[in-house]
A and B are shown apart, each in its own frame.
Chain A
Amino acid sequence: MAAGFKTVEPLEYYRRFLKENCRPDGRELGEFRTTTVNIGSISTADGSALVKLGNTTVICGVKAEFAAPSTDAPDKGYVVPNVDLPPLCSSRFRSGPPGEEAQVASQFIADVIENSQIIQKEDLCISPGKLVWVLYCDLICLDYDGNILDACTFALLAALKNVQLPEVTINEETALAEVNLKKKSYLNIRTHPVATSFAVFDDTLLIVDPTGEEEHLATGTLTIVMDEEGKLCCLHKPGMFPPLQS
């Protein structure tokens, strides 16, 4: 009977739970889902991490490659994030070029990296004006059940902490780079930004870590990224939707 009511009136079904200050999966309004992290699972990547926030699963792989720096920033490396939401994770995504959701998530992760200064780009420089590291961070969602931004930020942070870069020296005579794979060092991670997403219901209630259904029923979403000093790196509030009924 409850299943029937849920199909016909999903918002009312939800409201019944919210009145009692809890949610259908048994969580409080301010409670997160069980989070698990698995570091270094991809051996072919320079750094990797798998994060599960309840059912939402995101895997991040970081590959480091050489690149020539741009002329206006000769001592800065690059960090290039890319979020991929394949058809595997949810039926709403089709194969083909990245959809809007994936592009917005990619831009969000790029903004978090830029604003929080998680890695100083100067640390990625090998030889100013000639050679720098570029870190390609690929985040792939394996299971989409809401709160993708939190999971991506967490996976990215965990993967970057796991990255080990080999030592590179430029041979003076041949001007070629020599990579010493035996001597590897971790990246210098300056801050630890953490993202928290909220779903807004009926313009009054805030619930933390929304699932896929909750995001769909909500009036709006809000994501805040803070570092350990309490500074805000990003306040992402992509607008509110008008309530479904009106």
Chain B
Amino acid sequence: MEEETHTDAKIRAENGTGSSPRGPGRSLRHFACEQNLLSRPDGSASFLQGDTSVLAGVYGPAEVKVSKEIFNKATLEVILRPKIGLPGVAEKSRERLIRNTCEAVVLGTLHPRTSITVVPQVVSDAGSLLACCLNAACMALVDAGVPMRALFCGVACALDSDGTLVLDPTSKQEKEARAVLTFALDSVERKLLMSSTKGLYSDTELQQYLAAAQAASRHVFRFYRESLQRRYSKS
């Protein structure tokens, strides 16, 4: 029994991969991802961006309540629990954003009348929380083997008072920023799947941020690929 848990831990440690630390200029924080760490969900992943950490679990395709079933595709549900306190309206809003992003990529028509439940759990929040939840959800869906038409990633950017763009802001940067924008982009054409913004900004600034987010998403997708390559090359 002890041996089993020991090898389990070894595999888990090997599965975890990290990206290079934040370089100068606009770049993302250090990321790390671990998959298959929980035994009950069909798929699970933990995604770390700097100090922000989100653990996501995916159950599905599984049985669905008759009231919620859709005849020709899977019913996707997202349950987001905050780290402290009871879930409120803000959590419902974020659940809707994550759910719609997942629905755009998951091939629900392959599993009609089933349910796919994604449960992101916030472990620590140090900025860019929604983006981290999206990344963890994507990695967990891949780990669960849910068929998808593309991968997606979340990128957050903040505009501080002197007009410079900061990608993947920390909580301190977010609080001081004039505007904070979070985008979800798909991996095939870098199309914008979801956007959620806070603060005031002009439309030319929006175009700039979107372009910067698309460039940053390339790093995130490359990290996903390396992480999965490392995991599957061992087993």
| A interface residues with partner B (beta carbon < 8 Å) | 100, 103-104, 106-108, 110-111, 114-117, 220, 227, 230-242, 246
Minimum distance in angstroms from A161 CB to a CB of chain B: 20
* A116 in complex: contacting residue of B97, B107, B200, CB < 8 Å: B200
Closest to A106 in B: B89
What chain A residues lie within 8 Å of B99 (beta carbons)? 239
| Cα A96 to Cα B152 with chains together (Å) | 35
Number of interface residues of B (CB under 8 A): 31
Confirm or deny: B201 has a beta carbon within 8 angstroms of a beta carbon on chain A. yes
Contacts of B194 in A (CB 8 A): 237-240
CB–CB A233/B200 < 8 A: yes
The smallest C-beta distance from A60 to any residue of chain B, in angstroms, reads 18
Cβ–Cβ < 8 Å partners of B202 in chain A: 230-232
Evaluate whether A100 and B92 lie within 8 angstroms (CB atoms) in the complex, with A232-B202, A239-B194, A240-B193 already known: yes
Specify which of A227, A233, A241 is in contact with B103 (CB 8 Å cutoff): A241
Contact partners of B95 in chain A: CB under 8 A: 100
Known: A240-B104, A241-B100. A232 touches B203 (CB 8 A): yes
- Complex CA gap A236/B96 in Å reads 12
Q: Which residues of B contact A107 (CB under 8 A)?
A: 89-90, 92-93
Interface centre among B99, B100, B200, B203 (most CB of A within 10 A): B200
CB-based contact A242/B103 at 8 Å: yes
- In whole angstroms, how far apart are the Cα atoms of A108 and B92 in the complex? 11
Are B96 and A100 in touch, CB under 8 angstroms?
yes
| 6 nearest A-B residue pairs (beta carbon) | A239-B100, A107-B93, A103-B92, A237-B195, A240-B104, A239-B194
Q: Which listed residue (A103, A104, A115) contacts B198, Cβ 8 A? A: A115
Cβ contacts B178-219/A at 8 Å (1 or 0 each): 000100100000001111111111110010000000000000
Q: A103-B89, A104-B92, A106-B89 are in contact. Are A239 and B200 (CB under 8 A)?
A: no
Q: In the complex, are the beta carbons of B101 and A239 less than 8 A apart?
A: yes
Q: Is the CB of A115 within 8 A of B200?
A: yes
Name the prevailing secondary structure of the A interface residues: mixed
Supplied contacts A235-B196, A239-B184, 5 more A-B pairs, CB within 8 Å:
A104-B96, A235-B181, A239-B194, A240-B100, A241-B103
Number of A-B contacts (CB under 8 A): 78
Closest residue of A by beta carbon distance from B72: A244
Determine whether B60 belongs to the interface, using a CB cutoff of 8 Å to chain A: no
Tell me the minimal C-beta distance from B161 to chain A in angstroms: 15
A114–B198 CA distance with the chains assembled, in angstroms: 8
Known contacts A238-B96, A239-B100, A242-B108; is-contact A230 B197 (Cβ 8 Å): no
B98 to chain A, nearest CB (A): 8
- Do A246 and B109 touch across chains, with their CB atoms under 8 A apart? yes
**Would you call A242 and B104 a contact (CB within 8 A)?**
yes
Closest to B181 in A: A235
**Residue in B92, B149, B203, B206 whose beta carbon sits within 8 Å of that of A242 in the complex:** B149
**Contacting residues, chain B, for A234 (C-beta < 8 A):** 197
Q: Give every chain B residue within 8 A of A110 (Cβ-Cβ).
A: 89
CB of A132 to closest CB in B, whole Å? 22
Inter-chain CA distance A104–B88, complex, in Å, is 11
7 pairs, CB–CB < 8 Å, chain A vs chain B:
A106-B89, A231-B202, A236-B195, A237-B195, A239-B193, A239-B194, A241-B100
Closest-CB distance, A225 to chain B (whole angstroms): 10
Measured between beta carbons, the chain B residues less than 8 angstroms from A111 are 198
Task: Give the distance to chain B from A39, nearest Cβ to Cβ, in Å.
Answer: 27
Would B201 and A239 count as touching, CB distance under 8 A? no
User: A246 contacts which chain B residues (CB < 8 A)?
Assistant: 109
Cross-chain contact A232 with B96 (CB below 8 angstroms): no
Closest chain B residue, CB of each to CB of A117: B200
Which residue from chain B places its CB closest to the CB of A226 in the assembled complex?
B203
Select one of B90, B100, B201 contacting A232, CB under 8 A.
B201
In the bound assembly, the distance between CA atoms of A239 and B108 in angstroms comes to: 15
Contacts of A114 in B (CB 8 A): 198
Name A222's closest neighbour in chain B (CB-CB): B195
Q: Are B89 and A232 in contact (CB under 8 A)?
A: no
How many angstroms from the CA of A231 to the CA of B202 in the assembled complex? 5
Which B-chain residue is minimally distant from A193 (CB atoms)?
B200
**Contact status of A232 and B193, CB under 8 A, knowing A103-B92, A107-B90, A238-B96:** no
Closest-by-CB residue of B relative to A242 is B104
* Min C-beta distance of A243 to chain B, whole Å: 10
Per-position binary interface string of chain B over residues 100-128, scored 1 when its CB falls under 8 Å from any chain A CB and 0 otherwise: 11011001110000000000000000000
